[in-house]
Amino acid sequence: MGRPRIANKEERFTAKHEEIVRATYRLLAEKGLHGLTLQDVADALDVSKGVILYYFKTKERLLLATWRWVLSRVARRIQEALGRWATPEEKVAAMVEAIFISPEANRTFYLTFLDLVGAVARNPTFASLAEEARRIEEETYAEVIRLGVQEGAFPQAKPEEDAKIVRGLIDGLFLQWLQEKDWRGAHALYKEACRRSLLRYLRCPEA
């Protein structure tokens, strides 16, 4: 229960760790999970591959650290946004605002995330990466729902169970958005649709 378990692992990052994961995330959007190599990351940073291995040991550990870093940033934005609003409805809106950052940032995130999902289907080695993504997202959403339950706005909601539905709604809308020809122009429309859909569901999830 409570805040997503993300902060401690990220706080142990040095500046060099973060520099490497930032470069990895950028390259994942370009090359995909399977196309990316440790040498690619080393070349982007103008260091030897040995430097990358020194900090992360294996490609899988680097990818896991990169996803923890990315998702922790999303979770932190949501947590900071929640503190600025009073009602559960405002908190849901703030959560959506923190998730729908910009067309470019969201496109990079979801193209990379979909590549991860596909990799899990083909190679169970990457299952831990997808599980980490799922856990952080659902714990973040459950925290928002739990606040609404405590304040009586979402009385029928079940935080852990409904967090999965919330995740499905958000990810599903992003999948549709990615297929829009004018994905930049459609971004704000999908953000508003997400806010309305989440509130309708959370106010009466069993309807």
Per the CB < 8 A criterion, the answer to whether 13 and 84 are in contact is no
Looking at residues 158-181, what average pLDDT do you find? Answer: 95
Question: What would the pLDDT profile of 100-129 be if each residue is shown by its tens digit?
Answer: 999 999 998 898 888 877 777 777 777 777
CB-based contacts of 21: which residues, under 8 Å, 6+ apart?
A: 13, 62, 65, 66, 69
3-state secondary structure of 152: coil
Lowest mean pLDDT among 7-11, 24-28, 56-60, 169-173: 7-11
Q: Which domains does the chain have, with CATH numbers?
A: 7-203 (1.10.357.10)
Looking at residues 149-154, what average pLDDT do you find? Answer: 90
3-state secondary structure of 102: coil
- Share of residues in the chain with pLDDT > 70 (%): 93
Which two three-digit tokens encode residue 180? 């829009």
Percent of the chain as helix, strand, coil, to the nearest 5 = 80, 0, 20
Can you tell me which residue has the tokens 């859909």?
Answer: 197
pLDDT at 6 (0 to 100): 44
Q: How confident is the model at residue 7 (pLDDT cuts 50, 70, 90)?
A: very low
Neighbouring C-beta atoms of residue 24, cutoff 10 Å: 26
Record the pTM. 0.80
Which is nearest to 32 in space by CA: 99, 146, 139, 111? 111
pLDDT at 76 (0 to 100): 84
Phi, psi torsion values for 137, nearest 5 degrees: -60, -50
Which two three-digit tokens encode residue 98? 């923190």
- Share of residues in the chain with pLDDT > 90 (%): 47
pLDDT at 9 (0 to 100): 47
Higher pLDDT, 207 or 163: 163
pLDDT at 11 (0 to 100): 47
Looking at residues 75-101, what average pLDDT do you find? Answer: 86
